[in-house]
Amino acid sequence: MSCCPRKPSGLAREGRGSSERWFDINRDLRINERIRAREVRLIGENGEQLGILTLPQALQYARDRNLDLVEVAPTAVPPVCRLMDYARWKYEQAKKEREARKNQKSVLIKEVRFRPKIDDHDIDFKVKQILRFLGEGDKVKANVLFRGREMAHPQIAKQLLDSVLAQVKPFAVVEKPASMEGRSMSMILAPASQPAAQATTQKGAARESREPAKS
């Protein structure tokens, strides 16, 4: 079943039907007297088709409305030009890009190291570290480091990582399962979706509230 394509971000459409193409309006464009075509297909400020005009006619049409003539599809025949306040449009585009960058959160991979013979107290401490990193939206690389003859017992590291995963599972998804990397075994955890983690926490709290208190 065919459907109409969605407009990609930052792109505009050139042509119709099977000859339709998308072109980038974020690049530097030729405007006003920099346009070289003899005639252009003119599009109004609100997207309306104004027909094919000679370049002088299109320039005059833009001047009468205190707008710029912007060549948005130079490879079309004739080239497609649009009426707009080009300086204002460039300013708004730059503002949107700044806002997008400001709202982006860079995801870091934090490493938490274990030793095969680590004691339970240290495991608890490092599990709390992992949970804190996941809560901050970062990924975590849980890494078990081997020394000397410890390399002969990789199953110990696998059991350790499985134990860690069981403790953080409501708040983490496994992005990379446990595997050997040289003299270490590691797995990479990513934050679970927040609603799922909250639901798991609420279920646990509800279950505890139903359990009779131990004397």
Question: Could you write out the DSSP letters of every residue in 159-206?
Answer: HHHHHHHHHHGGGEEEEEEEEEETTEEEEEEEEPPHHHHHHHHHHHHH
Q: Are residues 201 and 113 in the same domain?
A: yes
Q: Are residues 115 and 203 in the same domain?
A: yes
Q: Are residues 127 and 198 in the same domain?
A: yes
Q: Of how many residues is the chain composed?
A: 215
Q: Are residues 85 and 135 in the same domain?
A: no
Interatomic CA distance for residues 109 and 140, integer angstroms: 5
Per-residue model confidence as pLDDT tens digits over 63-95? 999 999 999 999 899 999 999 999 898 888 888
- Structural domains of the chain, count: 2
Count of Cβ atoms closer than 10 Å to residue 20 Cβ: 10
Q: Which band of pLDDT confidence, cut at 50, 70 and 90, is reported for residue 194? A: low
pLDDT at position 101 is 78
Q: Are residues 77 and 124 in the same domain?
A: no
Tell me if 136 is assigned to some domain: yes
Q: Are residues 68 and 39 in the same domain?
A: yes
Q: Are residues 181 and 118 in the same domain?
A: yes
Mean pLDDT, residues 36-64: 92
Q: What percent of the chain has pLDDT over 70?
A: 74
Q: Are residues 130 and 40 in the same domain?
A: no
Q: Are residues 117 and 200 in the same domain?
A: yes
Sign of CA dihedral 208, 209, 211, 212: positive
Tell me if 204 is assigned to some domain: yes
Q: Are residues 49 and 113 in the same domain?
A: no
Give which of 176, 168, 94, 171 is closest to 143, Cα–Cα. 176
Tell whether the model's pLDDT for residue 153 goes beyond 90.
Answer: no
Tell me if 215 is assigned to some domain: no
Last residue of a domain, which of 70, 94, 118? 94
Report the CATH number at residue 189. 3.30.110.10
Q: Are residues 115 and 190 in the same domain?
A: yes
Burial class of residue 181 in the structure, from the number of CB atoms within 10 Å of its CB (0-12 exposed, 13-18 middle, 19+ buried): exposed
Mean pLDDT, residues 120-125: 92
Report the CATH number at residue 15. 3.10.20.80
- Residue 19: give the domain boundaries: 11-94
Tell me if 102 is assigned to some domain: no
Residues paired with 190 in a beta bridge: 173
Ranges of beta strands (E only) in 90-138 are 109-114
Average pLDDT, the chain: 80
Residue 86's alpha-carbon distances to 82, 129, 166, in angstroms, are 10, 51, 57
Higher pLDDT, 117 or 15: 117
Q: Are residues 135 and 187 in the same domain?
A: yes
